[in-house]
Amino acid sequence: MRHTFREKLMLAVALVFTAIYLFPLYWMYVTALKSGWAIFASPPAFWPADPQWQIYAEVWQSRNMGRYIWNSLVIAFGAVAPMCWPATEMAGWMSVSSSSSCCRSYPHR
């Protein structure tokens, strides 16, 4: 399997755009692990020397994150679940009606 120069170039361009897209997400999560003084350090570190993992537990408890996640799940389920029943009914009706001979517009040969 021989790759052309154009395919390799397109892959390189796609990887560059992927890195540009993902870097802000990476930086956001890494910054969340830094201490207050390390956030404003110059030059910035791409990984904190002393990651502050306990910050996540503190925020989870102090901001009542469990309640927010529960609310999001209720809203998401409440929006999606009522649409599943009509969609499955329509799919079942379409599969039954399309298999009957009265609904075919062209005869099979």
Quick: pLDDT tens for 27-85: 999 999 998 888 999 999 999 989 999 988 998 899 999 999 999 999 999 999 888 87
Task: Tell which residue, 31, 53, 51, 56, has the closest CA to residue 41.
Answer: 31
- Confidence at 105, pLDDT banded by 50, 70, 90: low
Q: What is the pTM of this model?
A: 0.55
Which pLDDT score, from 0 to 100, does residue 82 have? 86
Which has more confidence, 3 or 65? 65
Task: Tell which residue, 22, 51, 21, 20, has the closest CA to residue 35.
Answer: 51
| CA end-to-end span of the chain | 41
- Confidence at 6, pLDDT banded by 50, 70, 90: very high
Which pLDDT score, from 0 to 100, does residue 85 have? 78
Say if residues 30 and 47 touch (Cβ distance below 8 Å). Answer: yes
What is the Cα–Cα distance from 109 to 91, expressed in whole angstroms? 26
What is the Cα–Cα distance from 87 to 93, expressed in whole angstroms? 10
